[in-house]
Amino acid sequence: MPAKIVTLTLNPALDKSTAIGHLVPEQKLRCSPMRLDAGGGGINVSKAIKRLGGQGVAVFPAGGFNGKMLCGLLEKGAIDFKCLEVPGETRENISVLETASNAQYRFTLPGLQITENQADECLALIKAIGPEYLVASGSLPPGLPETYFEKVAVFAKKIGARFILDTSGEALQAAADEGLYLLKPNLSELSALVGVEKLEMNQVDDAALKIIQQGKCAVVVVSLGPQGALLVTKDGFEHIPAPTVKKQSTVGAGDSMVAGMVWALSEGKNFKEMAQIGVACGTAATMNQGTELFHDADVWKLLNWLQQYGDRYRLRDF
């Protein structure tokens, strides 16, 4: 039976997306119908795992009308969740696609303030589930210290869960210092983790290996955007190229990649298969507009390409 997966989203959002031909200041702009999605990093991961045929439990705090809407959308999508009701109004995020240029404008509003005690209540909900994989994704909301994910890393060890974190800045650094199972940094985040301003492409593998040797994690998958990802373990590294597709939106691509990887791990896949599925999911997510994630048919098609032809397109300059 697949391992239990729980996602933690401390800064959830009601995601709204629409499109317009041209963005013109001080004009009344007629937009396409609004699309609503339950959003926030971990929630997106849970939704994506469901699309892959897996099942996880999304844990998050939410409040107000937007919180009820968010929970209703998850119920409609048959996503298992545990919501901690808190005072206040869950935030909204707005994404607008300008169709003339294919440029996307993303407006992220401030999150609902959460106390540390409320966040700890979310951890209590997770403990009762007893996951084998705990995935925390997204930013920290106002009210929580930047070191809170370090506390989550300690908590994961106590309950025997493998902790996978996708965040940035001081929150990422603090948690990595405590030790995680898997990290998915981009180049700038990896640079910060090893204490340098910028990494050249041929330095990425050594930098990722350094944080593994320092005990910050067991596996690193460095996100390289359109170039795919670099899988690094204590035994070596391998480049996973990204298939070329027509990009519609990057919203949810990172969360889709994390979802693919944790689903693969829960299904007993090896690290290379894990990274390939992650890249396939992240790439597939860019093929859809707005806040929609990937279509599973696109994932399997891209994965088949990676498994058949991926080695021909690996970067040679590491």
Q: Which residues are catalytic?
A: 255
Q: Using alpha carbons only, how large is the chain's radius of gyration in Å?
A: 19
Neighbours of 205 (CB within 10 A): 20
Task: Determine the 3-state secondary structure of 317 from DSSP.
Answer: coil
d(CA 130, CA 118): 19
Closest-CA residue to 209 (of 187, 237, 239): 237
| Complete DSSP assignment for 120-177 | HHHHHHHHHH--SEEEEESPPPTTS-TTHHHHHHHHHHHHTPEEEEE--HHHHHHHHH
Angle of helix 253-266 relative to helix 41-51, nearest 10 degrees, comes to 60
d(CA 70, CA 306): 35
Answer yes or no: are the C-beta atoms of 231 and 270 closer than 8 Å: no
